[in-house]
Amino acid sequence: MQPTNPQNTNAEPYASIAIVGVGLMGGSLGLALRRSGYTGRILGVSRGETLVEAQRLGAIDEGFPYEHLLDAAAHADLVVLASPISMILDHLQQLSASADRLRPGVVVSDVGSTKRAILAAARNLPEGSFIGGHPLCGSEQRGVRAADPFLYQNAYYVLTPSPSVPEAEVKKLGQFIARSGARVVVLSAADHDRIAATISHLPQLLAVSLVKFLDDLGSNREHGVHLAAGGFRDMTRIASSSFDVWKDIVQTNRDVIEDVLLRFLDSTRESLRGLNNGRLEKIFDRASRTRAEIPRDSKGFLSQLWDVLVVVEDKPGMILRIAQPLATRGINIQDIEVLKVREGEAGTMRLAFATRALAEEAIAVLRTDGLIARLRE
């Protein structure tokens, strides 16, 4: 199976790219590059029905089933592995076993959320060809139908090059990726995995543990579940994540996650001691100062949601009155919650949006419709 009408242009750093796994991440990358003006050829490798949809959306120019991965890779200057981690490892094995079919100077990258295992699996690729990658963005939705040309905008995109990759090649790939709107950062695989364990994997496990800890209320568990709003709900939103998503992450970063968990237990013991030695206020102050340093205008390991508070009357049809104008404008509500309601009186609802721009647009729409809405800072 051969690509048709291959394009070659000296204007592009990579005349052709192959995206292996054209789902949410791979499809969004294709759409983002096209939106940026990329004129090269985009080949997609995925399942048959996915390829048909990806071509219809314009995310790829031509599709190849997984069994023809090597045919697509052989005609690409850049290969991006955008499947789950376990499949990335398998695809790297296939590419390594047939490295002689790859173009001279080819660059292979990926979007996996842990890096050490992936870089180890890439060691048999041509020297200097592998640059690991991890875009820190995503969506609750899956598949190419959810692909979004703006998914990478303002998202940090970590590159973890193999030691043998020339700095100029890393810079070249970074500049190319930046066309998607991402903010490129270069780290070692070990540094990436420790940071990810601290600010992504640990919070996930803590959220799961916090929700599970509701069982400790015993006979009051049901009351606890119904009263768990505000901070508890915000802190545990990610506990809804499927273990299917996390299985590969835990398996490929188990040692670092274990170490981070043990260190966190030490930090928790410090807070426990602070209850009795008067240092709790200092711990709070230090945490407050650190949190103030976290930027709000970019996407990181944990996807931020922007909250809008809406004052609503306690009467039938209010949810429809809120949702309908937003749906008409194509504004997607990521989460919705009733914060405060008194029977027969006004209450407050929380609407969550993926970006600040969408939240502000929603506020404008709701205010035009006569509702009281504001951004929750």
pLDDT tens digit sequence for 92-102: 999 999 999 99
Distance of alpha carbon 195 from the chain centroid: 15
Containing H/E element for 18?
strand 16-20
Residue 201 makes CB contacts below 8 A (sequence gap 6+) with 249, 250, 253, 257, 260
Is it the case that residue 179 has pLDDT exceeding 70? yes
Higher pLDDT, 210 or 341: 210
In order of start, what are the domains of the chain with their CATH numbers?
16-187 (3.40.50.720), 193-292 (1.10.3660.10), 306-375 (3.30.70.260)
Higher pLDDT, 347 or 217: 217
Residue 176: pLDDT band with limits 50, 70, 90: very high
What is the residue type of 136? L
Residue 343: pLDDT band with limits 50, 70, 90: very low
pLDDT of residue 228: 80
Is it the case that residue 75 has pLDDT exceeding 50? yes
In this prediction, what percent of the chain has a pLDDT beyond 70? 92
Q: State both tokens at 355.
A: 């970006």
Angle at the Cα of 357 from the Cα atoms of 35 and 145, rounded to 5 degrees: 45
pLDDT of residue 325: 92
Residues 371, 353 contacting (CB under 8 angstroms): no
Cα–Cα distance measured from residue 200 to residue 220, given in angstroms and rounded to the nearest whole number: 31
Is it the case that residue 335 has pLDDT exceeding 90? no
For 84, 134, 145, 156, 361, the CA distances from 25, given in Å and listed in that order, are 10, 10, 11, 14, 25
Q: State both tokens at 312.
A: 């609503």
Is it the case that residue 305 has pLDDT exceeding 80? no
What is the residue type of 343? E
Residues 8, 17 contacting (CB under 8 angstroms): no
The order of strands in the sheet holding 306-312 is 335-340, 347-353, 306-312, 372-375
Mean pLDDT of the chain: 89
**Mean pLDDT of all residues in 360-376:** 91
pLDDT of residue 345: 46
Is it the case that residue 221 has pLDDT exceeding 90? no
What is the residue type of 373? A
Strand 41-46, strand 183-186: pairing: unpaired
* pLDDT tens column, 25-66: 999 999 999 999 999 999 999 999 999 999 999 999 999 999
pLDDT of residue 297: 56
Q: What is the pTM of this model?
A: 0.77
